Amino acid sequence: MTKRVSVAPREAVIGVDPLERKITLFGVGIAYVMSLGSVYGWVKNSPTLLTAKKVAHEACQVGYHQVASLCEKSVPGSRADWALQFGYIFVCATLMLIFALRRSRTGIIFASLMLGLRLGMAGIVFLYVGVWLLIRAYRLQKYGDPSLFGSSRIQREMSQARRAGTVITATQAAEKAQVEVNTPRPVVRESSRYTPKRKSTRRRK
């Protein structure tokens, strides 16, 4: 079994680029705001809202009432639960911030996925950040380009070469795709059979 060699250097795969860092810091800001919401819930001792799916005959369970397509139930709040939620969100957000400053892709993915799984639907943005960083790391390792447009071009060049009976590396495919993109289009010359009449600029007397 041959070991797959990464196209991009190891530092690029395990690190993050400026765009990934900005997206992570944006997610950190959202997490800190959500932690402030937990503080507000602790001060107010707000009730906790539980959701559940409908059971047989499209009816809600006892104690639940239907809201849109789900069933909801309000239970008395507990300051211990709000404090636990604040601590979890705050710790995960701080870890994301530290790993973003240290440019550690693995750390950011771990913290964002843990936060997203804990918050459920409210943490969908953190799940997106973690999965997005995983996909970009895969593209970097296989094609040397983390973007969807760049990796698609390289994959297309490799597929065309494979169909032609030749095998090229991702680096060669990237160079070929770049040459084709930067190649200027040929100038369209006027046909010798038909040349459109040009307007005369001479003034009539």
pTM recorded for the entire structure: 0.64
Question: pLDDT at position 179, please?
Answer: 41
Exposure string for 95-110, b = 16+ CB within 10 A, e = fewer: bbbebbeebbbebbbb
Q: Compute the distance between CA of residue 6 and CA of residue 61 in angstroms, rounded to an integer.
A: 53
131-190 pLDDT, tens digit per residue, is 999 988 888 877 777 776 666 666 676 676 667 766 666 666 666 656 443 334 444 555
